[in-house]
Amino acid sequence: MAALEEDVRAERELFRDSVRRFIDNEIRPHYEDWEEAEAFPREVWTQLGEAGLLCLDVPEAYGGAGADFALSAVVLEELGRAGMGGLATAVSVHSDVVTPYLLDLGSDAQKEHWLPRMVAGEAVIGIGMTEPGAGSDLQGMRTRADRDGDGWVLNGAKTFITNGIYADVMVIAARTRPEGGARGTSLFLVDTSLPGFRRGRNLRKLGQHAGDTAELFFEDLRLPDDAILGREHQGFIHLIDELPRERLALAVAAVAAAEGMIEWTADYVRERKAFGQPLSSFQNTRFRLAEMRTDAAVTRAFVDQCMDRFRAGTLDVTTAAMAKLSSTEMQWRVADGCLQLFGGYGYMREYPIARAFADARVQRIYGGTSEIMKELIARDMLGKA
């Protein structure tokens, strides 16, 4: 058993090397330009697919590698460690947030049509939950899907949608009963080429500029009955079931991003001088880096434990919320601490730490805000207030 685990670790590190080479050769030379353009080119998706970096745990029958989630996590870690938050989020949503909905809930026809294209990067997928008037409160959504003959008619709007500009297919949550709520919501697999689907602008964000984020609009969009994903009126339950993996993916990227920032800062303070000596010689610098490294290491240990639980099928909603809360709050503390040690240069956009600082801020918001995570954890401890 020990020899088998060692072989698995060795395979994972070989894969990590290939991911790093891809980032260095295909992504890093262009990333600043993409940040300025506030979007990376569509062909990057097919490059990622050709390199075997998308949807790694999709079964081989659908063109995937049938790998463990831990291998998919390597892609998120390396993008996060490289300070490429916009691309990391886009890939995470495509491979680790939305693909499991199709794998776990999709019909054979839905899987056969979309999964091979998603693995290859020929089709990009996103998910539409958040609305202009309903953020973390998913039960307040107003987008509706009404029965019409042997199909549905979808009307409404979604906002802050990652991959919204490039998406070829979307998982859309909509009310299918007037009362909505937990027992009145369904999920639909929506082909974005259908009449009645409209994209809004590519939203301008504080950080993660390279990733596209859009508004989406549905105007009498007609869907066949087989567009429904999972069970009718059980969409809210399906969302809850899939959230642990989404929050674990966020935690994985957050820890790696923090580790990357700490490495850059350690290198910088060794070289940068003040009052005739390296910044690394000052006690404040040494103690702050020691605190941040410890903070990241402790969080890494917990997230690794959560990874083991997820792979064993025992990661529950509360523990995933704890992982998301602890890792993203730690990432923000590290981003702020590292930028401070860079001084005025840290505030300049040409320094990666400035971009990492801006990218980190949204981590405490999307995937459920830190406040929502605290409420979930408290409810598990104390019951509903």
Q: Which active-site residues does the annotation give?
A: 246
Question: Quick one: which of 262, 232, 272 has its CA closest to 331?
Answer: 262
CA quadruple 23, 27, 28, 32: dihedral positive or negative?
A: negative
Q: Both tokens of residue 339?
A: 């930028």
Contact 338, 264 (CB under 8 A): yes
Provide the CB-side half-sphere exposure for 114 (13 A, CA): 28
CA 215, CA 144: separation in Å to the nearest integer? 16
- E strand or H helix at 96: none
Give 278-286 contacts, CB < 8 A, sequence gap 24+: 279/341, 285/341
CA 140, CA 130: separation in Å to the nearest integer? 10
Note the helical H segments in 64-218: 69-81, 85-92, 99-105, 108-120
- CA–centroid distance for 366 within its chain: 9
Q: What is the DSSP letter of 173?
A: E
Q: How far is CA 247 from CA 82, 268, 351, in A?
A: 20, 32, 28
Q: What are phi and psi of 22, to 5 degrees?
A: -60, -45
CA quadruple 327, 328, 329, 331: dihedral positive or negative?
A: positive
Q: How far is CA 300 from CA 165, 250, 257, 328, in A?
A: 33, 13, 11, 12
Question: What residue has token string 């000596």?
Answer: 277
